[in-house]
């Protein structure tokens, strides 16, 4: 049967142009009407090291980067020697035969070798070392029977801001690779439903977060560069003028959130971004946003910890850090988007929730979700904007009660410059007007009332936020539980299990806080077998579920090596649990 899906791995060293080559192939595939999912495994060095990027493309929705590659583009000898022996039978390897030596003794039986004489193919175009990538890209597209016009369009868009000679040289070497493959090797039986009239957008999670913020009317963004949240700052800076967003790179994360709170207090829709180490510095300011009831959106994209940890690797280890940020009890909403597309809508939703309930909303991503590329459906940019309850008068007694005791805990909000609506917004606790209650003598009664008022927001937010739903048959053999970026691999796992005679359903927790304890307890109480899948050492979501529902999940698949889950890993464990 013809293949309708292909997995391509590009391997080399940092600085070899791996990311740009992978992105180019992903865009060629998407412009051919295919679905795409790509993940880049890279190190924290600027040059050198062992880096690879894997792209999976097919004519049906792709939910992960896949397992073993069908093709390897090896950009140096080290990576050819490292990845070549592991390539499965029936796969193929493209490489620069001028510099890389591979023979059949280095690979498994029936692995096809595609040596490319890069020097001869690129001699009239200047022989830039990175041109080997473009030659290989041209050869690969021929083997996959892709339309070369898509390669040309991607190259023109990629190098459009450079001079014509660079564009022509890259098209020329890609054509040389395409023609060389055409005259030396047969194309494989790869026959997805190409649709060259349809282009599927390719986005990363961070790009989707940025777009979601812009669509929601974000007018202020602040950050200190910290992988893997930095590309949000890059996007915001590049599009600040067009989108009308003030962007500030600060000296540290303490000032990042404090400035964001200031912007939110002034009436701007404000957001900041960081990772776990930076969020650790923000925690006192999170409490400031809560006690002053200032709406802010905070993005924290997790990576391996503790401390500097694994700067360029993924993990889901910060759940309890976020839940426990700042001192005392205070209202907050924590959302863990599950896909690139969901990153867009969750960000837009976060701004509405922040202003509706006048509190901090924290979006939890991770490196895998933030940085992998994925084709998305047509995104609806008309997300709707809710600015919440804005005061129109200073009250019957002429004194503005910014923190008025209300049924749902949300008080009329004023913005600086609104006549007659001045008030004190202090980090000390206060009464309805903002006057401090703990100077010479603490007012115990007011403290209880103001605390109850703030926390009532959570009761109403919980009612508004939709509870999690069980995806799949209710009487399945196994229930898969996850949060955040595990969504896609769990969905794919359920599909694979079904093909192997095992029914599976899937519970994905999107709203981490407030927690839908009753809904989760009802679902898991009826489950036959449960498998918790998380990217951390201690099973943090499982612990939260036990804290809130009393249900202890015994079986877990935990991963904390810095790499994301692969379908085969989850399927293997799920089969074991389902048959136990």
Residues 490-547: tens digit of each pLDDT: 999 999 999 999 999 999 999 999 999 999 999 999 999 999 999 999 999 999 999 9
Residues 39 and 162 in one domain: yes
Tell me whether residue 192 is in a domain: no
Average pLDDT over residues 71-81: 94
Residues 332 and 434 in one domain: no
Strand bridging mode 202-204 / 112-116: unpaired
Tell me whether residue 381 is in a domain: no
Average pLDDT over residues 305-327: 97
Q: Is 514 helix (H, G, I), strand (E, B) or coil?
A: coil
Under 8 Å between Cβ of 236 and 207: no
Residues 369 and 224 in one domain: yes
Average pLDDT over residues 481-496: 97
Strand bridging mode 373-375 / 202-204: antiparallel
Residues 299 and 346 in one domain: yes
Identify the domain boundary among 418, 443, 465.
Answer: 465
Segment 418-450, tens digit of pLDDT: 988 999 999 999 999 999 998 878 899 999 999
Tell me whether residue 443 is in a domain: yes
State what percent of residues in the chain have pLDDT above 90.
Answer: 85
Q: Cα–Cα distance between 40 and 218 in angstroms, integer?
A: 29
Segment 262-275, tens digit of pLDDT: 999 999 999 999 99
Structure confidence at residue 1 (pLDDT):
64
Residues 228 and 346 in one domain: yes
- Say which residue, 125 or 140, is predicted with more confidence: 140
- Whether the CA torsion 202, 350, 225, 233 is positive or negative: it is positive
Strand bridging mode 92-96 / 112-116: parallel
Predicted TM-score (pTM) of this structure: 0.95
Q: Label residue 49 by pLDDT band (50, 70, 90).
A: confident
Identify the domain boundary among 154, 184, 214.
Answer: 184
Under 8 Å between Cβ of 293 and 403: yes
Report which of 494, 450, 458, 499 is spatially closest to residue 476, judged by C-alpha positions. Answer: 494
Strand bridging mode 220-223 / 246-249: parallel
Length of the chain: 580
Produce one character per residue of 307-344: b if its CB has 16 or more CB atoms within 10 Å, e if not. eebbbbbbbbbbbebbbebbeeebbbbbbbbbbbbbbb
Average pLDDT over residues 399-410: 95
CATH number of residue 39's parent domain: 3.40.920.10
pLDDT at 126 over 80: no
Residues 214 and 302 in one domain: yes
Under 8 Å between Cβ of 107 and 84: yes
Q: Label residue 179 by pLDDT band (50, 70, 90).
A: very high
Residues 490 and 368 in one domain: no
Segment 102-116, tens digit of pLDDT: 988 888 999 999 999
Q: Cα–Cα distance between 145 and 134 in angstroms, integer?
A: 17
CATH number of residue 360's parent domain: 3.40.50.970
Element (H, E) at 346: helix 340-357
Tell me whether residue 131 is in a domain: yes
Q: Cα–Cα distance between 67 and 104 in angstroms, integer?
A: 23
Average pLDDT over residues 231-249: 98
State what percent of residues in the chain have pLDDT above 70.
Answer: 99
Segment 342-355, tens digit of pLDDT: 999 999 999 999 99
Q: Cα–Cα distance between 534 and 513 in angstroms, integer?
A: 17
Domain count within the chain: 4
pLDDT at 164 over 90: no
Structure confidence at residue 190 (pLDDT):
80
Q: Which of 129-138, 359-368, 393-402, 560-569 has the lowest mean pLDDT?
A: 393-402
Return the bridge partners of 438, or none.
442
Tell me whether residue 412 is in a domain: yes
Angle at CA 484, nearest 5°, toward 483 and 486? Answer: 75
Residue whose pair of structure tokens reads 């992105």 in the numeric block: 23
Residues 60 and 161 in one domain: yes
Structure confidence at residue 396 (pLDDT):
67
Residues 359 and 237 in one domain: yes
How many C-beta atoms surround the C-beta of residue 551 within 10 A?
16
Residues 37 and 155 in one domain: yes
- Dihedrals phi, psi of 288, to nearest 5 degrees: -65, -45
Tell me whether residue 530 is in a domain: yes
Please provide the average confidence, as pLDDT, over all residues in the chain: 94
pLDDT at 131 over 90: no
Tell me whether residue 21 is in a domain: yes
Residues 53 and 33 in one domain: yes
Lookup: tokens for 406: 């209300």
Q: Cα–Cα distance between 492 and 515 in angstroms, integer?
A: 26
Lookup: tokens for 224: 């200190």
pLDDT at 2 over 80: no
CATH number of residue 513's parent domain: 3.40.50.920
Under 8 Å between Cβ of 380 and 396: no
Tell me whether residue 303 is in a domain: yes
Produce one character per residue of 393-414: b if its CB has 16 or more CB atoms within 10 Å, e if not. ebeeeeebbbbeeeeebbbbbb
Q: For residue 234, what are the domain limits? A: 203-375
Segment 53-63, tens digit of pLDDT: 999 999 999 99
Report which of 317, 318, 358, 522 is spatially closest to residue 453, judged by C-alpha positions. Answer: 358
Under 8 Å between Cβ of 315 and 393: no
Q: Which of 277-281, 360-364, 418-422, 520-524 has the lowest mean pLDDT?
A: 418-422
Residues 475 and 460 in one domain: no
Segment 188-217, tens digit of pLDDT: 878 788 888 887 899 999 999 999 999 999
Report which of 509, 510, 495, 508 is spatially closest to residue 570, judged by C-alpha positions. Answer: 495
Identify the domain boundary among 340, 375, 410.
Answer: 375
């Amino acid at each position: 049967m013809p293949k309708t899906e292909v997995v391509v791995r590009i391997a080399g060293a940092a600085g070899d142009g791996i990311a740009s080559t992978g992105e180019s192939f992903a865009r060629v595939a998407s412009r051919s009407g295919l679905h795409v999912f790509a993940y880049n495994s890279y190190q924290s060095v600027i040059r050198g090291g062992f880096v690879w990027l894997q792209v999976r493309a097919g004519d049906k929705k792709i939910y992960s980067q896949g397992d073993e590659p069908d093709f390897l583009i090896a950009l140096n000898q080290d990576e050819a020697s490292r990845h070549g022996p592991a390539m499965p039978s029936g796969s193929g390897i493209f490489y620069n035969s001028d510099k890389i030596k591979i023979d059949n003794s280095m690979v498994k039986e029936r692995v096809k070798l595609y040596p490319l004489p890069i020097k001869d193919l690129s001699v009239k175009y200047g022989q830039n070392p990175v041109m080997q990538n473009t030659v290989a890209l041209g050869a690969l597209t021929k083997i996959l029977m892709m339309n070369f016009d898509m390669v040309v369009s991607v190259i023109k868009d990629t190098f459009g801001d450079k001079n014509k000679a660079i564009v022509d040289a890259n098209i020329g070497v890609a054509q040389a690779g395409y023609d060389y493959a055409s005259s030396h090797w047969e194309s494989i039986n790869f026959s997805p439903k190409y649709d060259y009239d349809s282009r599927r957008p390719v986005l990363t999670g961070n790009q989707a977060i940025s777009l979601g913020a812009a669509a929601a009317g974000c007018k202020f963004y602040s950050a200190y560069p910290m992988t893997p949240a930095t590309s949000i700052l890059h996007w915001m800076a590049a599009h600040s003028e067009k989108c009308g967003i003030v962007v500030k790179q600060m000296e540290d994360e303490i000032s990042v959130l404090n400035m964001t709170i200031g912007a939110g207090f002034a009436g701007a829709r404000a957001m900041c971004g960081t990772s776990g180490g930076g969020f650790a510095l923000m925690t006192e300011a999170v409490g400031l946003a809560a006690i002053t009831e200032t709406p802010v959106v905070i993005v924290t994209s997790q990576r391996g910890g503790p401390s500097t940890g694994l700067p360029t690797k993924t993990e889901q280890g910060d759940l309890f850090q976020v839940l426990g940020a700042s001192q005392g009890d205070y209202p907050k909403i924590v959302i863990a988007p599950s896909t690139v597309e969901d990153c867009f809508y969750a960000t837009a939703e976060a701004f509405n929730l922040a202003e509706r309930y006048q509190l901090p909303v924290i979006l939890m991503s991770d490196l895998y979700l933030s940085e992998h590329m994925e084709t998305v459906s047509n995104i609806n940019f008309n997300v709707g904007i809710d600015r919440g309850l804005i005061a129109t008068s200073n009250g019957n007694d002429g004194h503005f009660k910014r923190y008025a005791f209300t049924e749902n805990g949300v008080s009329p909000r004023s913005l600086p410059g609104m006549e007659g609506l001045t008030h004190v917004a202090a980090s000390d606790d206060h009464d309805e007007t903002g006057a401090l209650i703990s100077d010479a003598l603490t007012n115990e009664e007011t403290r209880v009332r103001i605390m109850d008022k703030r926390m009532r927001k959570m009761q109403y937010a919980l009612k508004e936020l939709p509870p999690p739903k069980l995806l799949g048959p209710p009487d399945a053999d196994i229930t898969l539980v996850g949060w955040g970026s595990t969504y896609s691999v769990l969905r794919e796992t359920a599909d694979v299990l079904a093909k192997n005679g095992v029914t599976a359903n899937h519970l994905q927790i999107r709203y981490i806080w407030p927690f839908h304890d009753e809904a989760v307890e009802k679902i898991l109480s009826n489950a036959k077998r449960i498998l918790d899948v998380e990217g951390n050492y201690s099973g943090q979501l499982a612990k939260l579920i036990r804290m809130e529902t009393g249900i202890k999940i015994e079986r877990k698949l935990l991963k904390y090596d810095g790499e994301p889950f692969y379908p085969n890993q989850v399927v293997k464990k799920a089969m074991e649990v389902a048959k136990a």
